């Protein structure tokens, strides 16, 4: 360890960005990531500014047998972007976004966040599917699949990926697309960070915004079963130019649009985003109000970037976080009973269950067209999230998260579920997420492009 620390001058002379070692000014900031529950000390952080820098950093790590982690946005609950005693390759300086509005394409650096991408694309009234938290990194989000407000309209992030610049384990740089390294390109679209370091993504964009429409309906815990039944009946009727998110067990935020007596109250919410006119949106959301009167509602025009940032306060930087997830074909009576019974047992106001609906354009992509770990049929992804800034409260809600997951497992259609929602990506769950056929194909690609499993800090695919 000490020998490597003494040798960091070699790395500093090899790359264009700074290198941080223990004791250096900026080291603690450089190694920090979103999840405050993760506190690891790498031997060095190499902040790369180009694909060449990444290749040089990989060579330095390989020669010194250092474990390699890759940091894009640093947002994963799993904390896999930093390892104890290894090398962190930090892409955060590679956050460029260039947009070609004439062709509807964007090139995005591997260290960009959704906030970077949204700001650039919305200048032209364009967007691509990208999560629901703006400080999420584009890289990790995309490589696992990438769902968000636009999933029903545009599919997953990977469904809009045209090409990727990839630095392989041996330091070489390739561009993967349908025409170049097509099997690698297939694997990158859902297979996670298993195959190389993606330093640039190229996306197809869609006309969305700058102004969209929001509808938020909030019900009490006592109305939980009725509210979730309304969601189950209403969501499949949404028009193509609309998206939604169920926020089960959330606490009403301390925002001006929430009546004062309801701020901080736990309950269940349905959030609907509309990408057509305000009149069409009003007609779309009216059946929700008619089916079950909410405690309060908020229906308003909103900038698309505001929609993307709306839940940022629910996941602040440095929070202690833990999550589990599973797929559900439907919100059945049994599923709703589990959610309604266990949602009130949380301890932290930040803990809740965001439930994503995957249908619309998501289902237009073939099951084997990408490496996405999940069915392409309409279904829900139920994410169970425990978060707090107090360690004892966080411990209680981590147990709460696990208990709900265990209760829902017998009702799940994919107990592996979405790889981006794996705080503890063990091999059994990863295999379950992809299924045997897709996992074996990924393992073959892994054997070709990363036979030594250099990139194993992820939802790991072992080389065939």
pLDDT of residue 26: 95
Helix (H) or strand (E) holding 140: helix 138-144
pLDDT of residue 210: 96
pLDDT of residue 426: 86
- Whether the pLDDT of residue 5 is over 70: the answer is no
pLDDT of residue 414: 77
pLDDT in tens, 347-379: 999 999 999 999 999 999 999 999 999 899 999
Domain(s) labelled CATH 3.30.465.10 in the chain stretch across: 97-207+439-449
pLDDT of residue 40: 96
* pLDDT (average), residues 392-396: 97
The backbone torsions φ and ψ at residue 73, rounded to the nearest 5 degrees and listed phi first, read -90, -15
* In 189-241, alpha helices (H): 224-234
Fold classification of 211-421 (topology level): Vanillyl-alcohol Oxidase; Chain A, domain 3 (3.40.462)
Distance CA 39, CA 83 (A): 9
Task: Please choose, from the candidates 296, 212, 222, the residue with its C-alpha nearest in 3D space to the C-alpha of residue 253.
Answer: 296
* pLDDT (average), residues 394-416: 93
Domain(s) labelled CATH 3.30.43.10 in the chain stretch across: 2-90
* pLDDT (average), residues 198-204: 98
pLDDT in tens, 58-70: 999 999 999 999 9
Instruction: Report the chain's mean pLDDT, rounded to a whole number.
Output: 95
pTM value > 0.75? yes
Q: In this structure, what token pair is assigned to residue 101?
A: 């509005």
- 248 vs 190, 270, 386, CA distance in Å? 26, 8, 13
Fold classification of 97-207+439-449 (topology level): 3.30.465
Fold classification of 2-90 (topology level): 3.30.43
β-partners of residue 126 are 207
Instruction: Report the range of poorest mean pLDDT among 273-282, 424-433, 439-448, 454-463.
Output: 424-433
* pLDDT (average), residues 28-37: 96
Task: Please choose, from the candidates 109, 107, 130, the residue with its C-alpha nearest in 3D space to the C-alpha of residue 118.
Answer: 130
pLDDT band of 7, cuts 50, 70, 90: confident
User: CA 419 from chain center: how many Å?
Assistant: 9
- Whether the pLDDT of residue 3 is over 90: the answer is no
Whole-number percent of the chain with pLDDT over 70: 98
Sort residue 209 into left (φ over 0), alpha (ψ -120 to 50) or beta.
left
- Whether the pLDDT of residue 253 is over 90: the answer is yes
Task: Please choose, from the candidates 63, 68, 94, the residue with its C-alpha nearest in 3D space to the C-alpha of residue 82.
Answer: 68
* pLDDT (average), residues 309-323: 94
Length of the chain: 464
Domain(s) labelled CATH 3.40.462.20 in the chain stretch across: 211-421
β-partners of residue 271 are 216, 245
- Whether the pLDDT of residue 1 is over 70: the answer is no
pLDDT in tens, 121-178: 999 999 999 999 999 999 999 999 999 999 999 999 999 999 999 999 999 999 999 9
- Whether the pLDDT of residue 102 is over 80: the answer is yes
* pLDDT (average), residues 217-242: 96
68-71/87-90 β-pairing: parallel
Instruction: Check: CB of residue 193 under 8 Å from CB of residue 227.
Output: no
């Amino acid at each position: 360890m000490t020998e490597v620390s003494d040798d960091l001058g070699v790395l500093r002379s090899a790359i264009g960005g700074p290198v941080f070692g223990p004791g250096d000014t900026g080291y603690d900031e450089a190694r920090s990531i979103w999840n405050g529950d993760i506190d690891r000390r790498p031997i060095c952080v190499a902040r790369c500014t180009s694909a060449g820098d990444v290749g040089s950093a990989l060579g330095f790590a390989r020669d010194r047998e250092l474990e390699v982690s890759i940091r894009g946005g640093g947002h994963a609950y799993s904390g896999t972007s930093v390892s104890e005693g290894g090398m962190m390759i930090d892409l955060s300086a590679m956050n460029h976004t260039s947009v070609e509005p004439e062709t509807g394409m964007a090139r995005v650096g591997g260290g960009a966040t959704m906030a970077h991408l949204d700001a650039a694309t919305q200048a032209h009234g364009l967007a691509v599917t990208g999560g629901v938290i703006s400080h999420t990194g584009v890289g990790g989000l995309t490589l696992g699949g990438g769902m968000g407000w636009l999933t029903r309209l545009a599919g997953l992030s990977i469904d809009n990926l045209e090409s990727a610049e990839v630095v392989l384990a041996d330091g070489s740089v390739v561009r993967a697309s349908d025409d170049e390294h097509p099997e690698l390109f297939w694997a990158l679209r859902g297979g996670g960070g298993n195959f190389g370091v993606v330093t640039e993504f190229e996306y197809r964009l869609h006309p969305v915004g700058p102004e969209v429409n929001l509808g938020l309906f909030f019900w009490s815990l006592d109305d939980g079963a009725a509210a979730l039944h309304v969601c189950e009946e209403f969501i499949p009727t949404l028009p193509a130019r609309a998206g939604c998110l169920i926020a089960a067990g959330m606490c009403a935020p301390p925002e001006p649009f929430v009546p004062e007596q309801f701020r901080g109250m736990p309950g269940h919410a349905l959030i609907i985003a509309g990408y057509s006119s305000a009149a069409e949106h009003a007609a779309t959301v009216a059946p929700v109000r008619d089916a079950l009167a909410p405690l309060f509602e908020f229906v308003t025009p909103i900038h698309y970037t505001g929609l993307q940032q709306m839940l940022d306060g629910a996941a602040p930087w440095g929070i202690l976080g833990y999550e589990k997830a599973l797929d559900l074909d439907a919100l059945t009576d049994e599923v709703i009973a589990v959610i309604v019974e266990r949602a009130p047992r949380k301890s932290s106001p930040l803990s809740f269950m965001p439930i994503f609906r995957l249908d619309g354009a998501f289902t237009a992509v073939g099951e084997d067209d990408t490496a996405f770990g999940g069915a392409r049929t309409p279904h829900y992804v139920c994410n169970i999230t425990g978060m707090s800034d107090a360690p004892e409260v966080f411990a209680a809600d981590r147990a709460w998260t696990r208990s709900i997951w265990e209760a829902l497992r017998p009702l799940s259609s994919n107990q592996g579920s979405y790889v981006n929602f794996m705080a503890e990506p063990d091999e059994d769950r990863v295999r379950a997420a992809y299924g045997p056929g897709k996992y074996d194909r990924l393992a073959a690609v892994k054997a070709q492009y990363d036979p030594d499993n250099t990139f194993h800090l992820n939802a790991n695919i072992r080389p065939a």
